[in-house]
Amino acid sequence: MTVGVFALSFLHSIHSLAQPSADKTTQIEVDLANEKGPLKPIWAWFGYDEPNYTYMKDGKKLLTEISKLSKVPVYVRVHSLLVTGDGEAALKWGSTNAYTEDANGKPVYNWTIVDKIFDTFIERGMKPIAQIGFMPQALSSKPEPYRHHWKPGDNYDDIYLGWAYPPKDYTKWSELVYQWVKHSVAKYGQKEVESWYWELWNEPNISYWKGTTEEYIKLYDYTADAVKRALPTAKMGGPEVTGPGSAGSQKFFKAFMDHVVNGKNYVTGKVGTPIDFITFHAKGAPKLVDGHVQMNMGTQLRDIDKGFDIVASYPSLKNLPIIIGESDPEGCAACSEDFSPQNAYRNGTMYSSYTAASFARKYDLAQSRGVNLAGAVTWAFEFEDQPWFRGFRDLATNGVDKPVLNVFRMFGMMPGTRVDVKSGLAYDYVRVRDESVRAEADINALASKDAKSAAVMVWNYHDDNVPAPNAPISVQVKGLPSKKITVHHYRVDKEFSNSYEVWKTMGSPKNPTPEQVAKLEKAGQLKEFSAPKPVTATGGETTLNFSLPRQGVSLLKFTWE
């Protein structure tokens, strides 16, 4: 049965099949003694199209919030770091004017805006994924027209102008890259820059790159050579293709990987080219069904799985770190709910529960393919000076955190060793990958521990955003120490950690008063569902019972001395 047929077969009975009976308790068993390897902070990676938002008021505020939620440095990926322009911020646009030429065609380098962006990251203990792109106007093989003025509702293809073309001079391009890396080492120090990731371009298998596959490969050779000449220990990677589930992406991805392993290098003439990490993208596909939003997590997981499969098929590259350079419920952060009603999931708890459930499955997919997943970039940030809760894919609106950011706060509180969550629940990663979540709800958990704590993240997710009764849940934790234990219960749902619901109770004000803004800011923080309480672990076991609303997420944090 195909996924489409499978989905359709359940639509007519969604209210009977997708809704558990209110008295059926979901049993979740966590065994702290059964370790499953490291719980890498793959969630501590974020990105966005508009680099100039970085140092604006709400951008700085949100970056501070993101940096504080993680015990490890957060990596940030942005577009347009070499684009020509005055630094004015706009949707799906950014510029730094890093490269221009004088009247005689001599390069002029200006790192002022690039440094301002990276300074904002580094001041907060964050790290750049330094994206080498897009093409400066003076180097573009088709420099006019260069800048777009896209807005939601416009044709998306309008954005691909002169910045998307190959260079007219690969040697000048190479020197630009070399000068940027050398400047970065001089400004920030070799040790700091060694911790960054340098990558070439974005989604070169579609119109972000107006050259051929072979021209991208040529550009990669010149770029990697320049990066390594400037700093031999720098980390260089690519190719940031779109979802490998599509035939076109697979073809491009494999051509690139074949060249990396066996191709003749355009610069050195030798076999192969340097690569230190591998990147691709993965997106879901929401749509409107019978007046409600229906997500498609399965589409995203199949993209991820195919990307892992391709990497695993190259023995010499299989163990390299993989960064899913954009990993999201759908593809266009700047396409607002106004013009794309299927994006109505973004303001409320559907985005947060999807995030919890999907990230847990990324760990499973990587383990099943035997690959080294280092990070999964959430392509969501903020959009400066836009209407409140407009329906962009963002983490905050006008400086107020949205529910989804609180799931990342939960991830940040989880210790570093993953432990077993007993199978036998309705969904595992294979079923979500193959069918998405179209029958009963996906009620499941991710758990981890260290020497003095343990955490269990529990979600109640469904692809269909329709009303459902709360789910009774019983979490049994085994392997606890015979010590005094305290449990904190954090929650994201309609009542907790949810600025959007509070804004709606205010009457959805277009211009909230200062007092309302303060209340919204408070509502946007992660809240405890109940007061901390001691628990007794008889024989190393304890059980917690609670009710979890549809699209809700709970974090149970156990601590002891």
Domain-wise residue ranges, the chain: 24-39+289-306+330-360+380-560, 79-275
Report the CATH fold assignment for 79-275: TIM Barrel (3.20.20)
For tokens 């371009």, what's the residue? 201
Q: What confidence category does residue 4 fall into, taking pLDDT thresholds of 50, 70 and 90?
A: very low
pLDDT tens digit string along 346-357? 999 999 999 999
Query: Model pTM?
Result: 0.95
Q: What confidence category does residue 482 fall into, taking pLDDT thresholds of 50, 70 and 90?
A: confident
Q: What confidence category does residue 22 fall into, taking pLDDT thresholds of 50, 70 and 90?
A: low
For tokens 């990147």, what's the residue? 279
| Both tokens assigned to 287 | 């749509």
For tokens 């981890």, what's the residue? 448
Which whole number is the average pLDDT over 157-176?
98
If phi > 0 it is left, if psi is from -120 to 50 it is alpha, else beta; for residue 55 that is alpha
pLDDT tens digit string along 189-203? 999 999 999 999 999
CA distances for 294 relative to 235, 297, 397, angstroms = 39, 10, 23
Q: Which helix H or strand E contains 289, and what residues bound it?
A: strand 287-289
CA distance 172 to 494: 54
Q: Looking at residue 21, what is its pLDDT?
A: 47
12, pLDDT greater than 70: no
Instruction: Give the residue numbers marked as catalytic.
Output: 203
CATH 2.60.40.1500 fits 24-39+289-306+330-360+380-560, yes or no: yes
CA distance 167 to 205: 17
11, pLDDT greater than 70: no
| Count of CB atoms situated within 10 Å of the CB of 16 | 8
CA distance 389 to 378: 19
CA distances for 60 relative to 135, 325, 361, 522, angstroms = 27, 22, 31, 18
3, pLDDT greater than 80: no
What is residue 432's three-state secondary structure? helix
